[in-house]
Amino acid sequence: MPDRIKFFLLAAASLLFISGIAFASSADELMAQGNQLYQDKQYEKAIETYQKVIDLGYGGTSLYYNLGNSYYREGQIGYAILYYDKALALSPGDADVLHNLAIANTKTVDKIDTLPKFFLFQWWESVLAFFSISGWTRVVYFFYLLLLCSIGVYFFARRVNLQRYAVFSGLTSAFLLVVTATIWIVSLNRELTVQNGVVLEQTAAVKLAPDSTSNDAFVIHEGLKVRELDHVQDWVKIRLQDGKEGWIQQNDIGTI
């Protein structure tokens, strides 16, 4: 490879590395500014600053949590619940997020009676929500490595007792690997195919068809969580937890 081409490739890689560091530094500075603005009770400016971090392509539990807190302080319950749910999707067991989300949910107008679920389905949902996708990925990787180690010990150990332990460990690891991999696949498939949203407007009319002239099916309010079923231009077909369905304008909800 000519020296000139090597020079340009090295220069391009250096520019990418430097720009990456600059973006990260800028995001950290904006995050610190947003935190200070929140502490100074300048919630509207804090929201603008946190949003700039998101516009840079960054996300995270702390960012979404702080943004949800800022919206809550501004009285925008729909946006607060939206970002609490975004934070919860990344850290399902975060106690602070769960606590603030529960408080925000008490401020919503709509109290929807959910359809009863069989206890096994409830148990399965709790298992899926125990970790995020990245969390389940790490669990699967751990049991995969444990299985490989057990196989290695079995073939290279000279003592019979160690080989027996390796067989037991290998069988247990293989079983747990299959179970956790199944949970990971189901969770990943759900994340890719199932979309939930939160109503952002104080009052939103749900139509019978994706048309502004269509009759109203029912009315919902900010903060209500819905399932997104279909999209037609600027309209989204939604389903409530009690099974009701209808069409709502895209701008009236935010996707988690």
Q: Sorting pLDDT into bands at 50, 70 and 90, what band is 224?
A: very high
Q: How many CA atoms lie within 13 A of 198 on its CB side?
A: 20
Least confident span in 11-15, 227-231, 252-256: 11-15
The three-class DSSP label of residue 104 is helix
What amino acid is encoded at 183 in this protein? I
User: What pLDDT score does 27 carry?
Assistant: 84
Q: Does some domain include residue 85?
A: yes
By the 8 A CB rule, do 90 and 64 touch? yes
User: What pLDDT score does 43 carry?
Assistant: 95
Q: Give me the mean pLDDT over the 70-96 stretch.
A: 93
- Regarding whether 209 and 187 lie in a shared domain, the answer is no
What amino acid is encoded at 51 in this protein? Q
What amino acid is encoded at 178 in this protein? V
Nearest to 102, CA basis, from 88, 112, 90, 120: 88
- Regarding whether 140 and 82 lie in a shared domain, the answer is no
pTM of model > 0.85: no
User: Which CATH number goes with the domain that contains 43?
Assistant: 1.25.40.10
By the 8 A CB rule, do 139 and 180 touch? yes
What is the spatial distance between Cα 66 and Cα 124, in angstroms, rounded to a whole number?
30
Going across the sheet that includes 253-255, the strands are 216-221, 203-207, 245-249, 235-239, 225-232, 195-199, 253-255
Q: Does some domain include residue 114?
A: no
What is the spatial distance between Cα 19 and Cα 57, in angstroms, rounded to a whole number?
14
User: What pLDDT score does 50 carry?
Assistant: 95
Domain around 229: 195-255
User: What pLDDT score does 66 carry?
Assistant: 95
- Regarding whether 23 and 52 lie in a shared domain, the answer is yes
Question: What pLDDT, in 10s, does the model give residues 141-183?
Answer: 999 999 999 999 888 888 888 888 889 999 999 999 999 999 9
Question: End of a domain among 193, 209, 234?
Answer: 193
By the 8 A CB rule, do 197 and 226 touch? yes
Question: What pLDDT, in 10s, does the model give residues 113-139?
Answer: 665 666 677 777 788 778 888 888 999
Question: What pLDDT, in 10s, does the model give residues 34-63?
Answer: 999 999 999 999 999 999 999 988 888 999
CA separation (Å) from 171 to 150, 183, 197, 205?
9, 19, 42, 56
